[in-house]
Amino acid sequence: MTPTDIRALNDHLSCYRCRIEAGERIAIIAHGRAAAELIRLVTTSRVGRRRRFEECVAAGVPRSLVEICDPLKAWPNIQLAPGPLRN
């Protein structure tokens, strides 16, 4: 298992993705301790991958970013006055 900090993972995500797909296990280190482990999903078909994803969703593992924090929530509701737009 290869330890890496979250910043290195973020900076080189595609490289780590390839390493994980090749079978390497990556431990994510946050504040000096292991916070998570990334491993390759072992599936044989698209149907198997879809089922595994659905199992993860049912278990509450992946969540939508909007569920965590809606980035548009603080934006004002802007409405244009009726009529043609001018420069």
Q: Give all domains of the chain, ordered by start, each with its CATH number.
A: 2-64 (3.40.1620.10)
Q: 31 pLDDT band (50/70/90 cuts)? A: confident
Asked if residue 27 has pLDDT above 80, the reply is yes
> What tokens were used for 21?
């797909």
What pLDDT, on a 0 to 100 scale, did the predictor assign at position 76?
A: 78
The radius of gyration of the chain's CA atoms, rounded to the nearest angstrom, is 20
* 44-53 pLDDT tens trace: 556 666 777 7
What pLDDT, on a 0 to 100 scale, did the predictor assign at position 63?
A: 63
Centroid of chain to Cα 43: 19
- Write out 1-39 in H/E/C secondary structure: CEEEEHHHHHHCHHHHHHHHHCCCCEEEEECCEEEEEEC
